[in-house]
Structure 1
């Protein structure tokens, strides 16, 4: 099966001639859930931002649905079927939940009622509080709303950047269950995550980044059982 997304030998960073990504190679098939883990500063969020056009690669290709999208702006990438949920500042706090969802469908013509009802089915709490200001939501509820808004465009690929950051253990479990449910609908998901163990447990495949490079790649369960990954990134000492 052809890959939905392929990142080929990509170099990118925030300052000219100072690359955080050092020749990254990455791929995901349609319907897959692929997680990206690694220590702080490894380039996880930089990878997501580069894929989505928030950063332009200095070298390499980003192939989405057979087209090189490297250098395209985020609004152009969204139209091609990819959405991104940042770690923070991912909702409009002064707008209601319903208004936030409608903002997610701003590029669509015609009614978005059917898609909105589908989002409410995925996230029942959002429907219960549809008229409530997003600024009054808990951290976990904001993450649900941010995912729901991204899904309003019915994308083929969803990029999630650290969705469990700053959440309590209970809320983390809830968010991960929601991510699995979204993936079960057929959406491909790239999950950039600090909670490496939970992320790998639910992923079809995973990538371990180190110093801006894809150091290790494999099936999620295999990476969980990899002694090197366990010791360095999961906090499990070798026996």
Structure 2
């Protein structure tokens, strides 16, 4: 593993049932501070890849290295302590707790004063600041997504795994959430963005990977993939002859 690599996935096979692999030899890498998009059709293995990276699914073969250490077999809480956070598509906040309590829960493993961290999150997400005493379950979908990101950032991770952050959001909220993702990345946090909205994801990504049938079929700079005719036809709604 090279020094310019924060996360490296090598020849990973993984699935939920014995002898049935959804991921069939995926190779994938993220440099420090990089924003990498993972796109592809439903069932291609995008969310499975995120779960395997975060220790929610143990690969049958292959290695996953984070900061130079093989993390295959580590539990999710051990991976969090090494500086990685994962935000699932659903059930990513505590609905009965207030916005502020959710942020505090995000940093439960840290033995430091949380006020400066909370202030930083409220500056980044002013809408959350306005609703700090409100129960998370009463927030809109976009606000919940912002809270989930804020909660993860309380740990000041080196890498943030985002699984479908724009799912089920209105177009206006999708734009807002993507702006926040870009802002988080520009502040120095590396991001893996697993996303159905392929065009928006690639427009802001340093690099992208197209998963097909559990393999990394195509990869390259985000802009290059946006202009790739095959990617355009299959995933961006660009027909032949356009």
- Shared fold per TM-score greater than 0.5: yes
Q: Give structure 1 stretches of 5+ with no counterpart.
A: none
* Equivalent position of 1:136 in the other structure: 138
1:125 to 127, 138, 145: 127
For 1:14 and 1:75, how far apart are their aligned partners in 2? Answer: 20
Separation in 2, partners of 1:238, 1:74: 44
Map 1:101-180; keep pairs closer than 5 Å. 101-180=103-182
**Structure 1 length normalisation: TM-score?**
0.99
User: Of 16, 30, 46, which residue of structure 2 is paired with 1:14?
Assistant: 16
**Cα deviation digits, residues 89-110 of structure 1 (max 9, x gap):** 1010000000000000010013
**Residue number in structure 2 paired with 1:27:** 29
Q: C-alpha distance in 1, partners of 2:84/2:60?
A: 21
- Number of aligned pairs? 239
Instruction: State how far apart, in whole Å, the 1-side matches of 2:228 and 2:217 are.
Output: 13
Q: Distance in 2 between matches of 1:163 and 1:225?
A: 24
Q: Following TM superposition, where does structure 1 have runs of at least 4 consecutive aligned residues deviating by more than 2 angstroms?
A: none
Please tell me the root mean square deviation across aligned C-alpha atoms, in Å.
Answer: 0.6
Secondary structure of 2:47's aligned partner: helix
Alignment match of 1:71 (pick from 73, 87, 99):
73
1:203 corresponds in structure 2 to: 205
SS at match of 1:135: helix
Greater shift after overlay, 112-121 or 79-88?
Answer: 112-121
Q: Deviations over 1:212-231 (max 9, x none)?
A: 00000000000000000000
What CA distance in whole angstroms lies between the structure 2 residues aligned with 1:216 and 1:108?
39
Aligned to 1:3, what secondary structure does the other structure show?
Answer: coil
TM-score, L = length of structure 2:
0.98
Question: Secondary structure in 1 aligned to 2:12?
Answer: strand
